[in-house]
Amino acid sequence: MSRFRILVITVVAGVVLVGCAGGTAAVPPSTPLRPAGCTAPTSTDLTTPDGWLGRIAIRPDTVGLVVDDGRGHVVSHAPDTPLPLASAVKVVHLTAYAAAVADGRVRADGRVTRADWERWYVPGTDGNAHPSALQRLGPGPDYTVGQLVTAMIRESDNAAADWVRARLGDDALRAAAASTGWTDVELPGFAGAAARLAMPDLVPAGASHAQVVDLDGPLGRRVADDPAFRDEVARRIAAAAQQDPARFVADARAWSATTALGTPAQLLGVHRAIATGAVPGADLAARELTWQGPTPGVGTVGFKSGSFVDVLTFGGFLRRNDGSLGYAVVLGRDLPATPPVGEQVAGQQGLALNALVSSRWLDRLLCVA
């Protein structure tokens, strides 16, 4: 959907891997009955919105979504199913940061050295996000906290997200999520997750999903505090990708299922809380998400997206020119390797945004939800 200048950043490895707020989780109304005259989608081309309709119809277990046009129409599919969030979860970090600025715990103009930021950076594991952020912000030697947050949202810099988590603390991120109704958030540790991909033996045998995700925090701290360990993580990932690319991709697909999960309804609740001003610092958070500015004739899109090798995620809101708001979350997992997820972005985001601006597209989505 070319009229929206939307972008997604891969999260791990340069081979393309890597409701109402205020205490009650947003529970989407039941999807209404399908409209008369539904026809089965025929496209499987995930580079197009039609292909995503086909994906929902053919592989319904691989997609979860909620689209609320803000005008009384809600379509949902697996809204309460936990799915990998990839970088879309960084909206939780943003919400926590905005609240911290609002109550004076953090200054947006506080200084961060490049060296401190890059303690959390594992080269070759973020789809070139960190180098892209440096290209935009300059070589340093230091930056403002606010600039790191822009890198976390715009380029989807993983090191910036991990820095924000370390600076604010896990309790602040959990409180931010809870303020939108998300009470059981799984906090990602991007550097730690990369370490697990590089060194699977770091995970104890028989560990549960929650235990594995919890491990990413201390592993990330080890990456930040131990340069030799950080270098070894980067070396092993680069070597694995080069020596046996097919095996590496297979391992990465299995790994993506072990990362932080969330439901479409939970993620939509965060975007709703930001867009409606229901959380502290919502104006600041909304400005970060809407950094691309308005689209003539449509409105302003605020969003955060992400991907792993077989995962593609999108969450956002549309503030229309008449002031009304719509919200959309589309999460895809176990996606095919061809075309690469980077080429599937336009299809996924086009589906979400088409459904927010077109009742015909909302009906088409309802036919397969």
Residue 178 lies inside a defined structural domain of this protein: yes
77 φ, ψ (degrees, to nearest 5): -140, 120
Residue 120 lies inside a defined structural domain of this protein: yes
Q: Which of 3-12, 30-39, 135-144, 268-277 has the lowest mean pLDDT?
A: 3-12
- Distance, in Å, from the CA atom of 87 to the CA atom of 201, rounded to the nearest integer, reads 25
Question: Is residue 222 predicted with pLDDT exceeding 60?
Answer: yes
Tokens 């503030």 sit on residue: 319
Computed over every residue of the chain, the mean pLDDT equals: 92
Proportion of the chain above pLDDT 90, given as a percent:
89
Residue 210 lies inside a defined structural domain of this protein: yes
Residue 221's pLDDT band (cuts 50, 70, 90):
very high
Residue 158 lies inside a defined structural domain of this protein: yes
Omega within 30 of 0 (cis) for the link into 141: yes
Q: What is the pLDDT of residue 36?
A: 79
Residue 148 lies inside a defined structural domain of this protein: yes
Tokens 């070894």 sit on residue: 232
Question: Is residue 210 predicted with pLDDT exceeding 80?
Answer: yes
Residue 347's pLDDT band (cuts 50, 70, 90):
very high
- Distance, in Å, from the CA atom of 55 to the CA atom of 131, rounded to the nearest integer, reads 34
- Give the tens place of pLDDT for each residue, 313-331: 999 999 999 999 999 999 9
Residue 137 lies inside a defined structural domain of this protein: yes
Tokens 């379509």 sit on residue: 75
Expressed as residue numbers, the domain containing 242 is 106-256
- Give the tens place of pLDDT for each residue, 113-131: 999 999 999 999 999 999 9
Residue 53 lies inside a defined structural domain of this protein: no
- Distance, in Å, from the CA atom of 228 to the CA atom of 119, rounded to the nearest integer, reads 11
Please give the average per-residue pLDDT across 86-107, as a whole number: 99
- Give the tens place of pLDDT for each residue, 153-166: 999 999 999 999 99
Q: What is the pLDDT of residue 35?
A: 80
Please give the average per-residue pLDDT across 242-261, as a whole number: 98
Q: What is the pLDDT of residue 100?
A: 99
Tokens 């979350």 sit on residue: 329
Q: What is the pLDDT of residue 31?
A: 58
Q: What is the pLDDT of residue 32?
A: 66
Question: Is residue 18 predicted with pLDDT exceeding 50?
Answer: no
Q: What is the pLDDT of residue 263?
A: 99
295 close to 3: Cβ distance less than 8 angstroms:
yes
Q: What is the pLDDT of residue 353?
A: 96
Residue 224 lies inside a defined structural domain of this protein: yes
As for how many domains the chain has, the answer is: 1
Q: What is the pLDDT of residue 30?
A: 53
